[in-house]
């Protein structure tokens, strides 16, 4: 650590991991009153991944983090700070970031979790950027991971078809080649919309959680889908526009757009209103569903590895989720 001031932070490496087990729409047809056609038409999802019983958030995170560290050429011992953004930590205490620190052997690192639900990666990237720019930290490992299937109500067809598990990671450090890296990021929240996406039990509201609470599924995720849908489109657009305006860029300058993958119809509506060609939009929802905080960094890592993101590209990322929280980040690729 040092107290010098750096101008910009850059993403030095990316990594991701999804569990092996595939849950298809055909599998869900056997569990609830739904159909492959309804799920694909209303959400764009064909299948999603489900973590093994012995895989918690920190285990998914470990695989993603190892890939990101390898891509960045950074050793665990060089990491100053680990941020895990998740709404499904392994345990209420300690943080998933501390479990990850232990698995990975990042002995010098400070570690904490950040819960901004599906917007976690954008919040986490802004936090990492601020730490790096201030000079307080030199290398930050940011992991966004969720095991959503552990808080899925498998009897609620309106939500159980949506979720999947996964982890994405980036190593963030100071720019050394003049690239602007994280050009700008904007994050927002509105606690008045907290009831739209809610896990009532498991926190201090129902304490201790009773057998009745569990019977009533208060420990599982509830969502008011339609209201969330409408709000998501509006907030996505606002975050993207403000980030671009502040950066002095237009949509023509954007090479790759990575939106949070909650519903293909939301993504298409946002792209249409931004007048952005779908050719520039990264889509993973068909194969992974909504992995909450993990969707953006998994899509980012796959795009980098497939050569869809090249040096100098402007990458716009935007998310929306429980809280409510939403935000956007613009990165000039290293
Ligand atoms: O990542 C966090 C942010 N999350 C989001 O942004 C999610 C936003 N919301 C959505 O993606 C959509 O609202 C859903 C995919 C959750 C639901 O789609 P919708 O088009 O809004 O459906 P709906 O809730 O209005 O339901 C329409 C119909 C209803 O039947 P009736 O009342 O018209 O007879 C539902 O009961 O579809 C029915 N339905 C289903 N049918 C078959 C709901 N879920 C299913 C299902 N299979 N899985």
Degrees to nearest 5, angle at CA 155 with 263 and 116: 45
Strands 314-321 and 139-147 come out as unpaired
Same domain, 209 and 157: no
Within a domain: 2: no
**Long-range Cβ contacts of 107-110 (<8 Å, 24+ apart):** 107/76, 107/77, 108/77, 108/78, 108/79, 108/80, 109/76, 109/79, 109/80, 109/81, 109/82, 109/141, 110/80, 110/81, 110/82
> Is the residue at 315 inside a domain?
yes
Could you tell which of 119, 229, 231 is best to mutate to test the pocket of ligand 1, judged by most ligand atoms within 8 Å of the CB? 229
Tokens 């307080």 locate to 136
Same structural domain, 151 and 191: no
Give the structural domain span for 283: 182-332
**Residue 189 placed within a domain:** yes
Whether residue 144 sits in one domain with residue 61: yes
Tell me whether residue 274 is in a domain: yes
pLDDT band, residue 3 (cuts 50/70/90): very low
Length of the chain: 334
pLDDT tens digits, 127-163? 999 999 999 999 999 999 999 999 999 999 999 999 9
Rounded Cα distance between 281 and 285, Å, is 12
232: CA distance to ligand 1 center in Å?
14
Does any domain span residue 123?
yes
Torsion 47-51-57-62 (CA) sign: negative
Q: What is the CATH number of the domain that holds 222?
A: 3.40.47.10
> Does some domain include residue 1?
no
Question: Same domain for 73 and 120?
Answer: yes
Whether residues 308 and 289 fall in one domain: yes
> What pLDDT digit, counting tens, does each position of 100-112 carry?
999 999 999 999 9
Q: Name the strand (E) or helix (H) holding 139.
A: strand 139-147
pTM: 0.96
Instruction: Note whether 94 and 80 are within 8 A (CB).
Output: no
Report how far ligand 1's centroid is from the alpha carbon of 225 (Å).
6
> Does residue 215 carry a catalytic annotation?
no
Residue 4 lies in a domain: no
| Residue 4 confidence (pLDDT) | 55
Q: Is residue 207 located within the same domain as residue 133? A: no
Looking at every residue in the chain, the average pLDDT score rounds to 95
| Nearest residue to 166 (alpha-carbon basis) of 18, 319, 15 | 18
Residues 311 and 197 in one domain: yes
Shared-domain flag, residues 186 and 170:
no
Considering the domain architecture, whether residues 96 and 117 belong to the same structural domain is answered as yes
Number of structural domains the chain divides into = 2
């Amino acid at each position: 650590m040092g107290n010098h001031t750096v101008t910009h932070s850059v993403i030095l490496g990316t990594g991701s991991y999804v569990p092996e087990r595939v849950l298809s729409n055909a599998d869900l047809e056997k569990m609830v009153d739904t159909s492959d056609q309804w799920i694909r038409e209303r959400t764009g999802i064909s299948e999603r991944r489900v973590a093994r019983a012995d895989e918690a958030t920190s285990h998914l995170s470990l695989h993603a983090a190892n890939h990101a560290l390898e891509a960045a050429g950074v050793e665990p011992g060089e990491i100053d700070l680990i941020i895990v953004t998740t709404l499904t930590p392994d345990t209420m205490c300690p943080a998933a970031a501390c479990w990850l620190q232990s698995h990975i052997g990042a002995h010098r690192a400070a570690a904490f979790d950040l819960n901004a639900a599906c917007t976690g990666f954008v919040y986490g990237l802004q936090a990492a950027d601020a730490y790096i720019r201030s000079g307080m930290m030199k290398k930050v490992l940011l992991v966004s991971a969720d095991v959503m299937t552990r808080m899925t109500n498998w009897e609620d067809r309106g939500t159980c078809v949506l979720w999947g598990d996964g982890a994405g990671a980036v190593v963030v450090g100071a720019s050394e080649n003049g690239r602007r890296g994280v050009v700008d990021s904007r994050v927002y929240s509105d606690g008045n919309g907290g009831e739209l996406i809610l896990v009532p039990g498991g926190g201090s509201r129902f304490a201790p959680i009773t057998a009745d609470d569990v019977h009533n599924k208060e420990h599982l995720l509830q969502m008011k889908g339609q209201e969330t849908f409408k709000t998501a489109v509006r907030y996505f657009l606002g975050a993207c526009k403000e980030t671009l305006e502040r950066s002095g860029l237009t949509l023509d300058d954007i090479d790759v757009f990575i939106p949070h993958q909650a519903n293909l119809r939301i993504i298409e509506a946002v792209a249409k209103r931004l007048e952005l060609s779908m050719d520039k939009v990264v889509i993973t929802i068909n194969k992974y569903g909504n992995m909450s905080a993990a969707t953006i960094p998994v899509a980012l890592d796959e795009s980098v590895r497939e050569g869809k993101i090249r040096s100098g590209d402007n990458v716009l990322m935007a998310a929306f989720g429980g809280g409510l929280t939403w935000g956007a980040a613009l990165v000039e690729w290293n």
